[in-house]
Structures are given as C-alpha cells and as structure tokens.
Structure 1
Amino acid sequence: MTARKKGTKEEPYDVVIVGARCAGAPLGMLLARRGYSVEIVDRNAAGADTLSTHWIRWPGVQRLRAWGLVTELEKTGCPPIVQACLDFEGRVLSGGPRAGGIEAATYAPRRTVLDALLVAEARASGARLRERFAVTGLIVTGGRVAGVRGVGPDGPADLHARVVVGADGRNSTVARLVESPAVEDRGILARSLYGYWSGIGEPGIRVVFRGRRGISLWPTHDGLTVVSLVFPPDQAPGRGPAALTEFYTSCLREVPEVGRALADADLVSPARAAAVRNARRRAHGPGWVLAGDAGHHKDPVSAQGISDAFADADGLADALDTGLSGAAGLDQALARHTATRDAHRLGTFAYTCEQAELRPFGADFLADLTRTAADEQAVEAFLNTFVGCDAPADAAWLGDSH
C-alpha cells in the first residue's frame, strides 16, 4: 500500500476512481477500509440526481447489509418493499418474497439519497472526494495509465495513481480516453420514461406488461412512487416536454389496473426520458479497469443496474487488493476479475436484450403462468427469483417467454 505524504510532493494514490455513484463510491469505501489511498472524482456534486429505476434487488441489498448500510438507508426514510405484484397480460402473481424462510425486503431509494449515502460512507472510511471535477485526459507512463488530468473548482490538477478505475457510467470518459472497444453492441432496443407520483400508496412493487409496453411502480422516498414506462423505439412520442408527458400519462392510464392505482395520484415531476444501448466493452488494460455501467450496460427493463454495480465494487475491490498487495500480478488480477464478471453477466445480458425487444409473450409461457398462479408455492418461487432471493438455474429465468 502507498501512504499519502504530507509534503509538497505527494506519492501517487493507490487508486483514482472516476465516478462517485453506485460502483465508484462503494469501491472507494471498500478499498479505503483495507487501507489503500483512494481519490474519487466526479464531474457532479455528490448525490446529484440521475435517471434510474431505483430498485435494489435482493443480492444488492445483501451487499448493503454486509457493508453495514441497510440500517443507514432505512434511517433516510426509504420504505422497505416486502410485496410484489407481477402482471403479464392479465396473469397475476402476487405475494411476499422470502429468503431462507424470512421476509425479503428490497428498496428503491431516490438516487439523490442513495448516492450521497454511499459517498459519505466512502469518505468516513478514508477515501477522498473531488466534486465537480471533470477528467480531461490521462497520464500515461511507459504505455500504462498512471493517473488522470482534470479541472475542478480549484483549477487544473494531475492525480497520479497505480490504477485508474472508470466508474463513470455508460458514457464513460475513461472508456473513451483508453479507446476501449465494444465486444458486443445490441444497440437501443427500447425507450423509457420516468416520473414521480404522490398519492399512490401501493404497498410494494407492481409490474405490468401489456402489449409491447411495460410499466413498473416502485415506492421510494418522501411518500413518492417512481413509475416507469418502457416502450419500443418506434412508438416515439411527440416533440417537447408537454407531448412527452402526455404520451407518458396516457400510456399509463390505458392500462386499467395502473389507471386505478393512479386515480387519486398526482404527477409531481416532469416525465424524463432514457434510451440505453445494450453493450459490453473491453473492461481492463494496463493501469486501468472499468466498473459498473462503464464496462457493461443494458436496458433498465430488468432493473439490474444498481445491484450489478454493487457486485462490481465487491469483486473489483478483491481483485485490486490482490494486485496492489503483490499477492498476484495486477494486470493478471484485473483480467481474471473482468473475465469472471463478464461470464456471470452473459446470461442476464441476453435475457435483458430479449425482454427489451418487448415482443408479445408466447402462448405456452402465458399458460405456464396461469398454472403457476394457482399454486401458492410456485408463486412464491417465481417471486423469489424475480427479486433475486433464489438464483435461477438459467439466467433467462422467465424461460421461453416470447
């Protein structure tokens, strides 16, 4: 480990992390807890809002619990979600997911709260943070990335490091600067609209698929519910904020079950749009590695992003510890980490792309759902897999749904 000097010339950081959200902030926390010198930089202020489905699936909640942060999240007023209702063309499965025989609570926090909480814990663990710091270039020595150059409120700065981590999202500056190639690119398969509603009062998650549209309701902070609409790119709304909101609200109210949930509710935010490419990049090279959406991003229809980012932070912290401590070669440790991560994600990536195409559900799948709905144990097993309590035998856990 490299200690920071207090003199005029400092030693390099062990790690500079670009991006202070759901991959970068917990990675900085985990490395700082192990005694490494870490600088996290972000072009925004900590806890700035961002488009997100918000949901943390059960594996992500378990990581928060291992990090000692579930209680802290609950203290922010984030409601635990213990009920789920899944509706596939009128075939409804509802109940309370359970893990090991106990209630499995998940959460859908506002990103303004979650990201700020993660950053605060990283700082408390010893990581440093530079907010509103835009990375403009890389420091390269002997063919290896050895730091970043950027500009912040205090002017330009060079930050030297043994490793640079790009945790700066699907439009990653680090990925662009190292010219990381795409290893798979399925393009934009769906579009999404999000809004915050007051007065819904749903006790849990509601997911509804009708035709070629998917609607999700997730209770979040301040008594609000984030409601997402996923639809094919060829169903483009009109131009301008008013047309966007009209398309969003009319699509929601066209579904009777959703319309009833929204009957006494108010949309308290503009509808916000997202269109996400489904793509994977080469995620490591000499002196650099990508984490979270920077290396692997997919449509939000499967709501995997936050939980995947947490998994990246955990696995990458172990790999960096192995390489930085000298237990193994750094490049070899990062190569093993990214290969393992990519292998684990391939099934989910393929499944997400399939679901994002929003093709009609097959008759056999709908018949299976009808049989499942009549069996209490089968319903619980289905819901457990949906929230991530039970690992599916196949990553495409909905089976041959189309």
Structure 2
Amino acid sequence: MRVHAVMSGKYDVVIVGARVAGSSLAILLGQMGKKVLLLDKAKFPSDTLSTHFMSHTGFLKKLGVLEQLEESGLRKVTRMRTYIGSSFIEGPRTSYTIIPKRDQLDSVLIEKALEFPTVTFKPKTSARALLWNGNKVTGIRVEENGGEEEIHAGLVVGADGKNSNIAHWAGAKMYKQTEPLRPVIYGYFEGVEPLREPTTEIFLHEGRIGFVFPMEPGRDCLGMEIHPDEFRTMMHQPELSFKQTFDQLYGMAERMKESRLLGKIIGTPGMPNFFREAYDHGWALLGDAGHSKDPSTGLGINDAFLQSFLFADALKQIDNGTPWSEAMSEYARKRDEQLLPGFQMTLDYIQSLKKWTENEVALFQSIAANPMVWNKLVPKLSGHIKKDTEDFPLFYQSLKMEAEHFGYKKES
C-alpha cells in the first residue's frame, strides 16, 4: 500500500476511517483540490466485517475504480434467485454488479485517492481525542507509532463505523434507534458448484436468511442471518455449524461437497439500527458512523457511497458561497430522506420472516412454478404494493423489496 509523506500545515479535512465511506470521500475531495488527511487504525490491505453486496456499479464508475476492479477477475453478477424452502424464483437484474472482498475494494479506493497530490493517507494511526475551540471542533489528536500528535483542520469527518469515537466525543445523538435484530455469520469458500450464470442467491428457510454471493471464479461469499439464540452455540464450532446449517438450504449440500473454507467463519451477534446527528460545528459523520442497519438487505456499501457523494456536494455548495449551516442542514435532510425508506424496509423485512402464513408460502410456490406470472407481477410491484391492504401482506412486501433493491427486470 503506497503512503504519502505527511504534509505540513493545516488540513481542509481530516477523515477518520479509510474504508468505503472515508476513502470514497477522499477521492471526491481530492478531485476538488482539498487538502485531505485520511487516517485509519488498521493496516491495509485488510479485511473487515461486511455484507460485500452492491446493488449496482454506478458509484464505482463515478469514482473511477470500476475498470480496475473488473480487471481483477471478478465475475459480473447478472441474475438474482430467491428460494423459499424448495421453491425458487429467478430473473435477470436490471444492471450487473460485482462482489469484491473488502481488502480489495478498500485498497483500490485508497490507491485512487492517493492519485491526488493533496490527499495524504496514514494507516495504523488511531484517533485519541477531538480538539476544540469553544463549541467548535478544530482538529484531532492522534497516536502513531507510540507517539501523539495534534492535527488541525477546518473539518473532522468521522467515518469510523457504528461505534464511532468521533460521534461519541462530539456528543452526536441517535434517533430511530432499534437494537440489533439478527446475528450474521459468513465465510469465503472455494469449490462451491456454481449456477450456469453468476447469480446472487437468497434463501429464506425456517426463519433464517442464507446468501451466496459470487466473487472470482471458484470463490464465493456464503453468509447467513440466524436466530439470536443460535449464535453462541454456532460460534463454538463455527465451520462445522455453518456447513451443517447451510446444507439445509435447497441444493446446497450437493453443491458444497467439494468446497473448502478459505480462512475462518466470521460472525457478529447483530448490527444496531439507528441514525445519528449528521454534523455540528467543525465535525460531520459518514457511513455507519451516521447510519447503521441490519445487513439482511445488503445496503451498507451503497449507503456509504451515497453519503460520500451527498457530503461532497454540500462542501461544493459551501465553496460556492452557501452558508455552512444551510448546506449541512440540507445534507442531513437529503441523507435521511434517501436512507429512511431502506431503513424501514429492512426492519419490516427482518421482523416479518417468522410470520409467513401457509397461504403465503403456497402462493409463492404457485408463482415460482409459473414464470409467466412472475414476469408479469414483478414489474408492477415497485411503488404500488400497500402491505396493509393486501391479502398476502408479507409475501408481497418481500417481493416488492427484492424488485426495488435487488434489481429484477422482466424477462425479454
């Protein structure tokens, strides 16, 4: 990983956290000529807990990294398949996606940011405290190689995750808070028998959600959201428990016969669901630091990119003469306006999993057996289904979510 030498003087922006949210913002600010310090306590390249999923590649293209990621050998995922028990529905996506490992994605974004001479990157550097002048943040104190340093900046951005120190030190309040709902476990496997075309697979089985995300040829990310009371037991013998549980999903026991786990099973007892205050004098929050939710709908990476673009636009408005408070208030409003539907959809989706009726399962199976019905139904779902007025509310709610987020389109 290339690291620029530290530049002297005051920075326009210090970004704490160099994963997707922080590194993408550094790219956008580098394009604007801002003097930026990007720092992270981790070394790079390194992996991090993630859903890995992106619903489309549009943000990657705008950031100028799509071609490099595609040339690394990632498969273009063009289809989506959803299983309930032994029935499934499959269709093409409205646009393809790619699914890189996070050590790869984050490193590519950091390297892109460092193409701009005004961007500096310091890995293995920990934030220790905010610097204040009255009620305004004026910089940050960091620790690197056992020594501490005070760094002054016009703005400190916390892109340091759901347990953000920047948010804690700044006193950013949470709202719309819901405690973690579901544990998540996943791992990288080689040798899983693939489908004919690269396909994102979602399994709804006995209240669990299984995922198969194709990465490079021969390697897949397999994940599962499980019941809360299963997590502790499964993590005692994670590899064995994961395979035994995944083998229960339709067709996976046969497809995993020759598979091998790469590395170890990764797990978390759950992700908190919240929004945080987005900014105040001299500081702002980005990515999971400002907004977090259950990973079942795979929105985290896209949400982080979205926030970076919205935030960079707000700084452009400030450069063009818009007052700080006005531009940042509009950033916060747009952030919540665009992220709230996905937040509520995710909570509804997770909380509905145990509530499907026998009639809803039967309806799914009948539609799955008749692709012509599916092709006519899905294009009509987006924006038109009201869960409180349907005879099969949870069934239609789930299909509507998939039509809107995962990108189904009508077969030609």
Asked whether the two chains share a fold, i.e. TM above 0.5, the reply is yes
Matches within 5 A, 1:3-402: 10=9, 12-58=10-56, 61-98=57-94, 104-126=95-117, 127-153=119-145, 155-202=147-194, 203-221=198-216, 223-238=218-233, 241=236, 243-274=237-268, 275-323=270-318, 325-357=319-351, 358-363=353-358, 365-366=360-361, 369-370=364-365, 372-373=367-368, 374-376=370-372, 378-379=374-375, 382=378, 392=383, 399-401=396-398
Cα deviation 1:197-224 (Å, max 9, x = unaligned): 1101423211111111110011124631
Displacement of 1:381 after TM fit?
7.5
Q: Which runs of 5+ in 2 are unaligned?
A: 1-5, 388-393, 400-412
For 1:355 and 1:344, how far apart are their aligned partners in 2?
18
Percent of aligned positions that are identical: 26
Contact preservation (8 Å) 1:195, 1:270: yes
Query: Compared with structure 1, are the counterparts of its residues 167 and 391 closer, same or farther at alpha carbon in structure 2 (3 Å cutoff)?
Result: farther
Contact preservation (8 Å) 1:17, 1:164: yes
Contact preservation (8 Å) 1:190, 1:232: yes
For 1:361 and 1:128, how far apart are their aligned partners in 2?
51
> Structure 1-normalised TM-score?
0.87
Contact preservation (8 Å) 2:234, 2:241: no
Q: How many residues align?
A: 381
Query: Compared with structure 1, are the counterparts of its residues 162 and 200 closer, same or farther at alpha carbon in structure 2 (3 Å cutoff)?
Result: same
Displacement of 1:285 after TM fit?
1.1
RMSD: 2.6
Cα deviation 1:175-199 (Å, max 9, x = unaligned): 1111211112110100011111110
Tell me the residue number matched to 1:101: none
Contact preservation (8 Å) 2:130, 2:137: yes
Cα deviation 1:13-32 (Å, max 9, x = unaligned): 11111111111001010011
For 1:395 and 1:115, how far apart are their aligned partners in 2?
39
Displacement of 1:393 after TM fit?
5.7
Displacement of 1:303 after TM fit?
0.5
For 2:373 and 2:116, how far apart are their aligned partners in 1?
43
Query: Compared with structure 1, are the counterparts of its residues 201 and 128 closer, same or farther at alpha carbon in structure 2 (3 Å cutoff)?
Result: farther
Query: Compared with structure 1, are the counterparts of its residues 392 and 260 closer, same or farther at alpha carbon in structure 2 (3 Å cutoff)?
Result: farther
Contact preservation (8 Å) 1:207, 1:217: yes
> Structure 2-normalised TM-score?
0.85
Structure 2: which amino acid aligns with 1:119?
I
Query: Compared with structure 1, are the counterparts of its residues 283 and 266 closer, same or farther at alpha carbon in structure 2 (3 Å cutoff)?
Result: same
Q: Which runs of 5+ in 1 are unaligned?
A: 1-5, 99-103
Structure 2: which amino acid aligns with 1:73?
L
For 1:310 and 1:395, how far apart are their aligned partners in 2?
29
Tell me the residue number matched to 2:407: none
Displacement of 1:371 after TM fit?
5.8
Displacement of 1:401 after TM fit?
4.5
For 1:319 and 1:119, how far apart are their aligned partners in 2?
22
